[in-house]
Amino acid sequence: PKMGDKSRAFVSKALEVAAQNPEFLPRSFDLDEMRKDVQLFEALYPVLLSLTQLQELVDDTSLAVGSEAYAAALQVYNYAKASGQGAGLDAVVLEMGQRFARRTVKVESKEPML
């Protein structure tokens, strides 16, 4: 399961209970292993938070610059279209225009035609 704040508190409390009352645990329960797992998770948690924040910043930046690049590309496309045939850009305009091509959907009639 994913370890959020509630789960972290639960695990911490369980470790505390297990450490203070080991007599109720079966002999096969490895308290030292649990302690190591909890310590490692707690050591990794700040790194995870930092990476999550960095990922959000990268996502936001990527979205912003991608949007700006797309807006600039639209301007280039529109200028190329406006230049007309004399500029020798017909093939490029046609190729770029494929981005906006719509697929036609055939609608089959279920009623017989008379």
**pLDDT tens digits for 26-62?**
999 999 999 999 999 999 999 999 999 999 999 999 9
- Inform me whether the pLDDT recorded for 112 exceeds 80: no
Residue-level length of the chain: 114
Q: How much is the pLDDT for 111?
A: 66
Q: What is the pTM of this model?
A: 0.61
114 has pLDDT over 70: no
Question: Is residue 1's pLDDT more than 80?
Answer: no
In the chain, domain spans: 5-100
State the chain's maximal CA–CA distance in angstroms. 90
Q: What is the pLDDT of residue 106?
A: 72
